[in-house]
Structure 1
Amino acid sequence: MSESNKMTSGMTRANVAILIAAFVLLAGAIGYAIWRDSSSSAVDPMPQGAAGPADQLAELEARTRREPNSAEAWTALGAARFDLSDFAGAAAAYEKAVALSPDSAGLWSALGEARVMGGGSDPMPAQALQAFDKAIALDAKDPRARYFLAVKKDIGGDHKGAIEDWFALLADTPQGAPWEADLRRTIEQVGQIHKIDVAARLAATQARPLTPDEMPVAARAIPGPSRADMEAASQLPKGQQDQMIEGMVSALEAKLKANPADVDRWIMLMRSRMTLGETAKAAQALKDGVAANPNAAARLKAQGQLLGVPGA
Structure 2
Amino acid sequence: MTVRVVSYNILVPIFAEETDYYTKCQPQYLKTDYRWNLIQSQLEQEIINHENTIICLQELSRPLLSKFELFFRRLNYTFFHHLYGQQYNDYMGYESIMGKNKLYISDPWKTATLKANVLICLQIVINGKSLFIGTYHIPYNSKEPDVMVIHASVVKDLMYEQAVGQDFILAGDFNIKPQDVCYQVLTEKNYNGYNFPKSNVYEISYQPNFEQVLKSAYCEKNGTEPIYTNFADTPKSSKFCETLDYIFFTGHLTVENVLELPADPDSESYPDQTHPSDHLMIAAIFQLS
| TM-score for both structures, normalised by structure 1 | 0.29
Where is the strand percentage greater, Structure 1 or Structure 2?
A: 2
Higher RCO (CA 8 Å, separation ≥ 6 residues): 2
| TM-score for both structures, normalised by structure 2 | 0.31
